[in-house]
Every structure is written in C-alpha cells, then in structure tokens.
Amino acid sequence: MRPPLDLTLYLVTDTALCGGPDGVVRTVEAAARGGVTCVQLRDPAASDDELVDLGRRLVRSVAPHGIPLIVNDRPHLVAPIGAQGVHLGQGDGDVVAAREAIGPNALLGLSVQTSEMVEAARPLGDAVDYLGVGPVWPTPSKPNHAPAGGVRTAFEVASVSPWPCVLIGGIHPPRVRRLVGTGAQGIAVISAICGTPDPETAARELRAEWEAPV
C-alpha cells in the first residue's frame, strides 16, 4: 500500500532560499502548521550524505502531521532517508528503474511540460502516482527551466492526464485563483513559502486562495 497523497499544497524546498539546512527544517515545520499537504526535498547541489542528514530531520518534522516527504531525483535515497517517495524530472532517468529501486509501496511523481509528454508516459500506468506540471509561469527558482506553458497548457495536461496533477512554477497568492478550474489537484511552490519570513502564514494564504469557493 502506498501512503495517501494529498496534492492540495505541495512545498518544494530550496536550501539556499531557506538560509541553510536549519532554515529548511524551520520552514517545513512552519509550513506544515500552515497547511502544506506534501513536502519535496529538493537540493540539486547537495551531496547524498547531506541530503540524507537533512531528509531524516524532515521526516521527523512532517511525520507527526501525516505529511509525506518526497525526495527529488534520487530514488536510492528514499530508503536511507525513510521518505515516502521520489520525484523525477524528464531528464532524471528511467521511471521503471526508479520504481524498482523504491519498491511498490512508495510514491513516484514525474514532471511533464506538455500533453505529448503525458501520452508518452501513459504506458507507465501504476508505476507513477502523480504528475508535476510546469513551469506554468517563468521562475527564477529553477535556472534553465523548460519554457513556461501558461494556464492553457496546465489545463490541457490536467485534462488528458490519467494521474492527479500538481501545478508548479511562478505560483504566488495573486495567481492562484487563475489555476482553479484547470482540473489540477493542487499547487506546488518554492519561493512563495521558502522566500518569505513567515512560511506559516504564506502556506495558510496559498491554501485559502486555492480552496476559496468559486
């Protein structure tokens, strides 16, 4: 059995933006109080050892809230961290191999930019649990990101996807309402939470925007 997955408000961590590993832990704990439903540990610059250290701390922070911790890019670190899953980008290696590495009971997310990529991924079926869709808007948080697809692409991808979708890229509170109605299950952010002095309030505000009645 895979852990339950709620994509409503998905925090992706950025160690530099949080001011270092201690800042990541503080940010995640505050954001968890504010209503984040899923956390991804993302630090492309960190070594495996550094990621395991930080990941184990984050598991202790999120587990009491029932929030899953997903590790970016490195399936082999899911078990040592005690995380609930892995997230892979299009260039991050083979999904089938990653599923074998993490086993049947962990979560696996895949980034896509277009509906063509959804079609290419479709044969993966149950090996995948959710899609990360974006960037919706350009963002300084991911250098060299793929071209931003806008709200229209988000809608197209969510419409054809057999998996639940979480949108990412340039999402800040004033833009959230434009994403309601795309068919996505939720929103993922880095800077809207990691880049603020009050991550708890930021998370609460993002969630309120997403969940406000239409």
Binding-site partner at residue 12 among Mg ion, ligand TZP, none, CB < 5 to 8 Å by type: ligand TZP
> Taking CB under 5 A as the rule, does residue 93 contact Mg ion?
no
Binding-site partner at residue 139 among ligand TZP, Mg ion, none, CB < 5 to 8 Å by type: ligand TZP
What residue number has its CB nearest to Mg ion? 89
Contact 67, 44 (CB under 8 A): no
The answer to whether the bond into 135 is cis (omega within 30° of 0) is: yes
125, burial (CB in 10 Å: exposed 0-12, middle 13-18, buried 19+): exposed
Binding-site partner at residue 6 among Mg ion, ligand TZP, none, CB < 5 to 8 Å by type: none
Nearer CB in complex with ligand TZP: 110/189 = 189
> Taking CB under 6 A as the rule, does residue 12 contact ligand TZP?
yes
Q: Has 170 been labeled as part of a binding site?
A: yes
- CA 45 to chain centroid, in Å, comes to 18
Q: How far apart are CA 141 and CA 151, in angstroms?
A: 19
> Taking CB under 5 A as the rule, does residue 145 contact Mg ion?
no
Q: How far apart are CA 127 and CA 104, in angstroms?
A: 8
Nearest distance in Å: CB 70, Mg ion = 12
Nearer CB in complex with ligand TZP: 10/155 = 10
Torsion of CA 66, 70, 71, 74, to 10 degrees: 130
The interface with ligand TZP within residues 119-148 (CB under 6 A) comprises: 134-135, 139, 141-142, 145
The interface with ligand TZP within residues 33-92 (CB under 6 A) comprises: none
Binding-site positions read 72-73, 92, 111, 139-142, 170, 190-191
